[in-house]
Structure 1
């Protein structure tokens, strides 16, 4: 006969087994650890360019902070729209991220009638990764030393004057279009598959000028292979203290900075966005990375600039300011 005391023991044991079964069961999605597998960061431009360099530096730091792996995948083409289009349709689980820029999220709105993503609604911003001024650099022997000289050269030679870029819709293309519009001068665009081959042709004297970020242009300028004639910003470049700013040259409306930011597909859980944002914040706060990026003219964000909402504001403001100007120039690709 089973006594009342024995029944209590049996009931307690059963309850203990039930509790153990519950506690060892599947973890809810809300509480699941992240990441548990490699994260892919899609860079929608060729390897070796300024966006790629910053993306790889950020990916390395974030991997350490997350305790996982972040793999950079270059999916170039169509001004970055192909790569970011893939990000926009990827599962919203935090394992596929995109590296967007002022070109992919603002210039492309004017350049393409249709995009495979909406810059404002297709993504969940993670945070700003970095900003940089744009340099106007000319080929050796062009014989100009400032924007006034470049304008005079274009006025004399017209569409025979050529400028290179990393491709249609790239930051380099965007910057030069705005500059030429302000100068009211024509020039022929020569798009390349990346900024490196464009710079090679500038050094070789095959094109006349280009707009480029310090990340890739500074080494060529300081070595004397190309000449910097202006910075498209109100701020001077520490490495080139005597370089004329666009405002001093008489074109304050051209002043802008390129930017890059991390994005996840829309619908990514807030806790994952927060986790990724925390890793990004910790990465860009590292003194070693700050020093490395500052040496090549890139400013890493701080404080409120790192908030996801700040990226959304940056995009909305840029679209409102720059897209009408680009469309007024008749800028279009299709």
Structure 2
């Protein structure tokens, strides 16, 4: 909102009062300058006719002349008794090569065209004080608006700088995040390669584990077979040992029998070598029937032959049993640890 107009110059001593201002603090002259109005035909004022420059360049005298009235400019009475408003078309009395900076007449012509006829008439009707008051008020309002715009522009510049710094920080963070993303992608690729390598090693380990299991099963089968054969051999060795004991017992019996026979033979020979001694061994004391020498020799040879045959047959079996007993046991193959 525009600030109130300062004290007009016309209220200073030795000056006339300025015209009354409206509700917004603007004077009538300021309203005439700030708000263009169309020209209306009032009672006691001549109607303003627009002037058009000549179509031929260089003819300044014809340009200042009055132009022919248009048919639409004729005032027609309306139903309310007011005359119809006439459009205003300003006429330029300047040319392409003219300059308002160097020529005062051209500047006046530009100002005349810039102001509407009603504004020009109001300005002419105003005195110097009223005109200066309105000009000062307008200048102060424009100055206030300019200062406000300067502050707004400065505020927007500060905001733009803050936004620029925020954008630079965001771009820096974005670049850092992109670099970190690339690093993470590289790590992810390396991790995927490592996972693939571990999976391949795991498959190899599974294959080796399956092969080891098959080998363990085969070794267990061989161990079971060896244990069964070892049990059979141990049983055979036990039987052979029993037979050897029996044969040893029989051999001891035969040896004792042979010793008895030899002793009897020696006694008999002694008795035969001394026939005149008259020494006779009674049969009751001997406890054994004294066979003839021929029969004793034949029976002893037959028994000795049977014993030798039995010992010969039992010896290979005992040897086989001893070798089976001395054979080292098959070591148990420890199975591999279960694969998790």
Q: TM-score, normalised by structure 2?
A: 0.20
Bigger radius of gyration among the two: 2
Q: TM-score, normalised by structure 1?
A: 0.21
Which structure shows the higher helix fraction?
2
Which structure shows the higher strand fraction?
1
